[in-house]
Structure formats: C-alpha cells, structure tokens
Amino acid sequence: MDVTFESRRLAKLCNKPKKLAKKFGHQRAKEIKIALDDLQGAPSLAEIDELPQWRLHTLAGDQAGGYSIDIDNQYRIWFRITDIERIRDENGYVDYSQVTSIEIYFVGDPHD
C-alpha cells in the first residue's frame, strides 16, 4: 500500500527508529515499526483487516471518517483513506480490497 504522512514531522518520526524509541520507548517503537511495515507491505487494506493483531476499525466522534489500528492496549495509528470518494459505494460502504493508499495523521496515545 502507498503510505504517506500528514506532515513532514510525523514522517520523520515514523521513519527514524531512534526518534521513535526516544518518544515511545524501545518496545513500543518496535511494534510501531512492525505495524508501519505491515501497512506498507500490504497490497490493500483488506490484508490488514485480516490480521487480528492490528484490530482495524473506524473512528467515531470528532475523528469520524478516520481509521485506526492498535499498537497495544493504549497506542494507535490513525489514518485516512486518501481516495475514499472513488472507493465508497452509494451505500457508504468501503471495499477494503480497493484501498491501496492511506495517509497517517496520528501515532500515539489518543487518551492523552
């Protein structure tokens, strides 16, 4: 999948293992890196949906329209489907097998 980042700052954080470890600790940084590698290596979001450890789900409330995968019980990666209007059908359904591009806009603890 094509994975982009909302900001250069977030891209730098996610692409520099030392920065990830400094911000999130070594173990959590490893898990974030594994999740990012899985997202980038997947041909579509359907493959991520089949991996229960990531618990792909839609966001609600003021984050409605976004999607999330779990890093652990506390931390998440939030993203948007970049071409959602083309993919969404007339009933609002999104076929994950058609999702090949996402934009990450948050990595961290959404409860902070």
What's residue 84's pLDDT? 84
CATH architecture of 2-108: 2-Layer Sandwich (3.30)
The string of pLDDT tens digits covering residues 81-110 is 998 888 888 888 899 999 999 999 999 999
The string of pLDDT tens digits covering residues 17-66 is 999 999 999 999 999 999 999 999 999 999 999 999 999 999 999 999 99
How many whole angstroms separate alpha carbon 8 and alpha carbon 98? 26
